[in-house]
Amino acid sequence: MIYRHFNAPSHAFSQFSHEIIRHPRLTSDAVRLLTWQLSLPQNARESLSSTAQRARIGGCAFTRAKRQLKEEGFVHERRVQGPGGRWTTQQLVSSTPLTAGEAAKLLARTPLPACTEPVTPQVAPSPRKPAAGRPTTPSTGGHPDEDLKEDTSHLPAEPAAAVDSAPTSPHAEDARALVGALPLLSPALRHIPPGMRDELTRLAARWLDAGHSSADVHEHVLRGLPGAGTPVHRPGGLVRHLLRDVPPRVLPTPPPSAPIRLSVRLEGARECAGHHTQPMLFRPLADETLCAECAAPAREGRRPNPLVGSNP
């Protein structure tokens, strides 16, 4: 249970409608900003932002409160051009919601602020004082007679001359097709300048001359592209950087040969270490190295007959 105690103020008070205090779509900051503005004297010209600073309302909260007051019709503002061409923002705060037309009529009755800053007067230019003597025309003529070779720097030869003297690669056509397919690999390579196609073709030809395939070059370029979402501002320069150094081709190593597998009939058989005319295979019961024919004479201390025994 709650109890209320209220003393009516005798001075320094303002009358507000309950619709403002209990408005369902206005936050506490919006209500505080509106009631603060309505409590100011009639001739006060304090802006909403200044009121928000005095009321300790933050920037984000002030923006949200001002937007709510404008949506509900309690605040209206417009931009007008006053004397001297200066633009001014007029704000209208009302205790009841107003439409845009009603606010425009009230703002039209408000006089615009006069320009208090003095205007710089236009000063006419002073008369020019002519130079002493009679006017003369500038001297004209050709170049000086001195030799300028000592002062002229020798520029390097044009790159086109070096390109023409370079031997033509046998893979030039394949390299040109390789470069032409680069825009199809990734959207980041769609805007390669046409003027760089010849240079990229020469770089790609070096890769083909070294034994790399077109698929190897394309995979190398794709590995060098940045991750998804990172823009490529100069795709031609990026491809040139990726193709500048040609690594040696690494041949794939052949897979290791599988061991020779014996037939099922010979699995578990072992060659006898005894004396036989031809290799003798037997199936040991444990870890013995002699067949039965060689093991019996060895136990008796005599040499086995090599003609005895046959392959299983």
pLDDT in tens, 273-310: 888 888 888 888 888 888 888 887 766 666 555 554 44
Residues whose CB falls within 8 Å of the CB of residue 174, separated by 6 or more in sequence, listed in order: 205, 208, 214
Domain-embedded: residue 45: yes
Q: Give the C-alpha distances (Å, rounded to integers) separating 124 from 119, 121, 129, 130, 131.
A: 15, 10, 15, 18, 21
User: Residue 46: exposed, middle, or buried by beta-carbon count in 10 A (0-12, 13-18, 19+)?
Assistant: middle
Residue 219 lies in a domain: yes
- In this structure, is residue 145 part of a structural domain? no
Are residues 213 and 277 located together in one domain of the fold?
Answer: no
Q: Do 282 and 215 share a structural domain?
A: no
Cβ–Cβ < 8 Å for 168, 205 = no
Domain membership of residue 47 (yes or no) is: yes
The residue segments making up the domain with residue 214 are 167-227+234-243
| 3-state DSSP assignment of residue 271 | strand
Same domain, residue pair 220 and 272: no
Q: By mean pLDDT, which of 175-184, 200-209, 223-232 is the weakest? A: 223-232
How many domains are there within the chain?
3
Quick: pLDDT tens for 1-29: 888 887 878 788 788 888 888 999 999 99
CB neighbours (10 Å) of residue 280?
23
**Beta pairing, strands 87-93 & 281-282:** unpaired
pTM for this predicted structure? 0.37
Q: Are residues 102 and 22 in the same domain?
A: yes
pLDDT tens digit string along 74-86? 999 988 887 777 8
pLDDT of residue 54: 92
Most confidently predicted of 53-67, 74-88, 141-155, 209-223: 53-67
Residues 31 and 98 in one domain: yes
Residue 255 within a domain: no
Q: Are residues 213 and 294 in the same domain?
A: no
Are 104 and 172 in a shared domain? no
The Cα 158–Cα 77 span in angstroms is: 65
Q: The dihedral of CA 215, 217, 223, 225: what is its sign?
A: negative
Q: Is residue 133 part of a domain?
A: no
Same-domain pairing of 40 and 101 = yes
Same domain, 69 and 24: yes
Instruction: Give a yes or no: residue 154 inside a domain.
Output: no
Q: Is residue 12 part of a domain?
A: no
| Residue 34 and residue 98 share a domain | yes
Q: Are residues 84 and 49 in the same domain?
A: yes
Listed residues 71, 91, 108: the one ending a domain: 108
Of the candidates 137, 224, 153, 216, the residue with the CA atom closest to the CA atom of residue 186 = 224
Helices (H), the chain: 18-21, 28-38, 48-54, 59-72, 100-108, 159-165, 172-180, 197-209, 214-224, 235-243, 292-300
